[in-house]
């Protein structure tokens, strides 16, 4: 009996109790409890197994908690915008759905504001994406500061933000927020070394008036925002049924413009004579495009140029203009209408997004015009962006012998001091200043200042939009070099221009 007892004791010590401990470890892990467990301490293989088991449990625990964190991160990311940390479209829609439920219950309204930064693309294109990102962050921070805790601000696209105002009982509450947002945009945004002034266009849709679900409300606020852009940006528009028609119209125009570019027989060029104030002779012409669409009829130039720029169709349109204008110029000289050069308007989109030097080389080779007979008119805002890239492009063009003029000068805030860094040959005083002559003393002062500036930088100066003899006389007295406008001639087609040339020669 004693031997049996001994054997039993030994068996329990060396095998059954350690086995029990091991089983306990296993059961804990099975239950998902990976905390430190009791170890077998028999000093043999069982102890090693037990230790390995504990190690395994700890590793699993670490992995589980890492997984948990990344799952939480993922959850956060799928509801927030990575750049600004604001709620994204998904979270915004969720909050809006919730707000709609709330409004249903207590009979209040909810407002969705759709906000788009004006000309943001220009900043991105000219100053680079990093500055663009900084600008978006700065905008989101300022907007967030200005809103109430109960409002939701979200970033739902590139430069597009939305604001949700809940439990609106009076429309004035919405107007107050809109005013606040416009005020927020008054001071420039600091992005590293850049001080950037931008504005915002806003569209507003209300629940329940303008839609009964979140998708419709956001879509209609977006539509209203488009109207703000069309009316000249930096303003707000409340959604209305008429706006849906407006969007349809825009789509129709874009389609017609695309087809015009493909067919290539709906555009024509007119030429407006430019007259020298030194000798009264017509020395050049400016090419101005016209579009007669079979579907839409005549579309005002400024209107479709803006659409072509937005859709980048201006690149093929611009190439056509360049080629047509240069070949017309060659034909004019062959027919005895001798001009010093032809002025061609170029959009900043063409300069930024297409290879203008290659296009110019191609057109010069194809038409036989010489480079110095081409003058490109570039709007001042492009120069004002003043980046290394802008500068390089202009220098490359100038190096070919092509002349460069700044169009609409006086409207684009370019730093006057910087002007001399650009390889320019001409400034064109914007029509809005010519309009004030000779009566507005302010406009006289501006015209004088621009002329003086041009002379210091050794630039030729042209005044556009001259409509009266009095304007012409004053410009001549102030030593402006060149004029164009209805007083001299409206834009003419090639045949009319040939007749004009012959007439002015006689």
Report d(CA 174, CA 185) in Å as an integer: 17
The partner in contact with residue 486, picked from ligand C2E, Ca ion, none with C-beta cut-offs of 5 to 8 angstroms by kind, is ligand C2E
To the nearest whole angstrom, how small is the minimum distance from the Cβ of residue 489 to ligand C2E? 9
To the nearest whole angstrom, how small is the minimum distance from the Cβ of residue 319 to ligand C2E? 11
Tokens of 22: 């091991």
Residue nearer to Ca ion on the CB measure, 210 or 464: 464
Burial 105-120 (b: 16+ CB within 10 A, else e): eeebbbbbbbbbbbeb
Report d(CA 332, CA 442) in Å as an integer: 40
The partner in contact with residue 465, picked from ligand C2E, Ca ion, none with C-beta cut-offs of 5 to 8 angstroms by kind, is ligand C2E
The partner in contact with residue 285, picked from Ca ion, ligand C2E, none with C-beta cut-offs of 5 to 8 angstroms by kind, is none
How many beta carbons lie within 10 A of that of residue 97, not counting itself?
Answer: 13
To the nearest whole angstrom, how small is the minimum distance from the Cβ of residue 491 to Ca ion? 11
To the nearest whole angstrom, how small is the minimum distance from the Cβ of residue 211 to ligand C2E? 37
To the nearest whole angstrom, how small is the minimum distance from the Cβ of residue 147 to ligand C2E? 39
Closest CA to 287 of 342, 356, 360, 350: 342
Q: What are the backbone dihedrals phi and psi of residue 110, each rounded to the nearest 5 degrees, phi first?
A: -130, 145
Residue nearer to ligand C2E on the CB measure, 243 or 288: 288
For residues 408 and 379, the answer to whether their CB atoms sit within 8 Å is yes
Cα torsion through 256, 261, 266, 268, rounded to 10: 130
To the nearest whole angstrom, how small is the minimum distance from the Cβ of residue 288 to ligand C2E? 4
Residues that bind ligand C2E (CB under 6 A): 272, 287-289, 301-302, 305, 318, 321, 345-347, 377, 407-408, 464-467, 485-486, 491
Residue nearer to Ca ion on the CB measure, 375 or 377: 377
Residue nearer to ligand C2E on the CB measure, 301 or 425: 301
The partner in contact with residue 485, picked from Ca ion, ligand C2E, none with C-beta cut-offs of 5 to 8 angstroms by kind, is ligand C2E
Residues that bind Ca ion (CB under 5 A): 345, 377, 407-408
Residue nearer to ligand C2E on the CB measure, 132 or 485: 485
The partner in contact with residue 305, picked from ligand C2E, Ca ion, none with C-beta cut-offs of 5 to 8 angstroms by kind, is ligand C2E
To the nearest whole angstrom, how small is the minimum distance from the Cβ of residue 281 to ligand C2E? 18
Report d(CA 206, CA 200) in Å as an integer: 19
The partner in contact with residue 37, picked from ligand C2E, Ca ion, none with C-beta cut-offs of 5 to 8 angstroms by kind, is none
For residues 287 and 325, the answer to whether their CB atoms sit within 8 Å is yes
For residues 271 and 496, the answer to whether their CB atoms sit within 8 Å is no
Find residue 70's DSSP bridge partners.
none
Residue nearer to Ca ion on the CB measure, 220 or 345: 345
To the nearest whole angstrom, how small is the minimum distance from the Cβ of residue 480 to Ca ion? 15
The partner in contact with residue 18, picked from Ca ion, ligand C2E, none with C-beta cut-offs of 5 to 8 angstroms by kind, is none
The partner in contact with residue 40, picked from ligand C2E, Ca ion, none with C-beta cut-offs of 5 to 8 angstroms by kind, is none
Sign, CA dihedral 204-208-211-216, equals positive
How many beta carbons lie within 10 A of that of residue 362, not counting itself?
Answer: 14
Tell me the pairing of strands 152-157 and 189-191. Answer: unpaired
């Amino acid at each position: 009996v004693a031997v049996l007892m001994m054997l039993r004791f030994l068996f329990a010590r060396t095998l059954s109790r350690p086995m029990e401990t091991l089983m306990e470890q296993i059961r804990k892990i099975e239950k998902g409890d990976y905390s430190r467990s009791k170890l077998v301490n028999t000093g043999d293989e069982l102890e090693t197994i037990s230790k390995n088991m504990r190690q395994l449990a700890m590793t699993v625990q670490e992995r589980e908690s890492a997984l948990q964190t990344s799952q939480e991160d993922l959850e956060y990311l799928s509801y927030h915008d990575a750049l600004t940390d604001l709620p994204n479209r998904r979270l915004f829609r969720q909050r809006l759905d919730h707000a709609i439920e709330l409004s249903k219950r207590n009979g209040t309204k909810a407002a969705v504001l759709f906000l788009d930064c004006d000309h943001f693309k220009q900043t991105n294109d000219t100053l680079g994406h990093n500055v663009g990102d900084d600008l978006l962050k700065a905008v989101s921070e300022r907007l967030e500061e200005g809103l109430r805790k109960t409002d939701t601000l979200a970033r739902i696209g590139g430069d597009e933000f939305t604001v949700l105002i809940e439990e609106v009982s009076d429309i004035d509450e919405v107007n107050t927020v809109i005013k606040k947002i416009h005020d927020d945009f008054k001071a420039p945004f600091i992005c590293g070394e850049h001080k950037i002034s931008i504005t915002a266009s806003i569209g507003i849709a209300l629940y329940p008036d303008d839609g009964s679900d979140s998708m419709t409300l956001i879509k209609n606020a977006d539509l209203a925002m488009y109207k703000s852009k069309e009316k000249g940006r930096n303003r707000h528009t409340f959604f209305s049924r008429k706006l849906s028609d407006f969007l349809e119209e825009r789509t129709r125009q874009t389609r017609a413009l695309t087809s015009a570019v493909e067919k290539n027989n709906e555009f024509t060029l007119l030429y407006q004579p430019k007259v020298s104030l030194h000798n009264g002779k017509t020395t050049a012409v400016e090419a101005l495009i016209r579009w007669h669409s079979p579907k839409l009829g005549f579309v005002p130039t400024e209107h479709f140029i803006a659409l072509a720029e937005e859709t980048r169709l201006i690149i093929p349109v611009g190439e056509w203009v360049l080629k047509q204008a240069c070949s017309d110029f060659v034909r004019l000289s062959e027919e005895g209408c001798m001009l010093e050069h032809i002025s061609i308007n170029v959009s900043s989109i063409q300069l930024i997004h297409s290879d203008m030097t290659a296009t110019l080389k191609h057109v010069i080779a194809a038409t036989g015009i010489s480079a110095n007979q081409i003058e490109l008119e570039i709007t001042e805002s492009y120069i004002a962006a003043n980046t290394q890239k802008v500068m390089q492009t202009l220098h490359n063009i100038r190096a070919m012998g092509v002349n460069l003029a700044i169009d609409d000068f006086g409207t684009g805030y370019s730093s006057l001091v910087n002007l001399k860094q650009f390889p320019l040959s001409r400034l064109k005083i914007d029509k809005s200043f010519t309009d004030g002559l000779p009566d507005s003393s302010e406009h006289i002062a501006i015209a004088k200042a621009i002329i003086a500036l041009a002379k210091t930088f050794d630039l030729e100066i042209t005044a556009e939009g001259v409509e009266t003899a009095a304007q012409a006389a004053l410009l001549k007295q102030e030593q402006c070099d060149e004029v164009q406008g209805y007083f001299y001639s409206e834009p003419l087609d090639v045949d009319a221009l040939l007749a004009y040339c012959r007439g002015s020669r006689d």
